[in-house]
Amino acid sequence: MPRVLHTAQALVDVVVEVPELPPRGGNTNAISEQRYAGGAVTTLLAAARTGARAVHGGAHGVGPNGDLLRSRLAADGIAWS
């Protein structure tokens, strides 16, 4: 079985929805926000889903963002070191 060891950082992508783009130099308020595991996690998910044994060897932090990353990795059977 192939193995992928990714050492880059796992990141959290924050996606916000806005009702419309503001005018140049203006502001607008977001109406929703979602957080997704990104960065190295995206590469590792692709590797795991194609049959490779995937391991994250980079930083993933602590707190709610770290928890999000670890839960996403665990959901697809990806280990971290």
Radius of gyration (C-alpha) of the chain in whole angstroms: 16
Does the pTM surpass 0.75? The reply is yes
The residues that bridge with 16 in the sheet, in sequence order, are 33
Q: SS3 helix, strand, coil % of the chain, rounded to 5?
A: 30, 30, 40
Task: With cut-offs at 50, 70 and 90, classify the pLDDT of residue 1.
Answer: confident
Q: What type of residue sits at position 39?
A: G
26-77 per-position pLDDT tens digit: 999 999 999 999 999 999 999 999 999 999 998 888 899 999 999 999 999 9
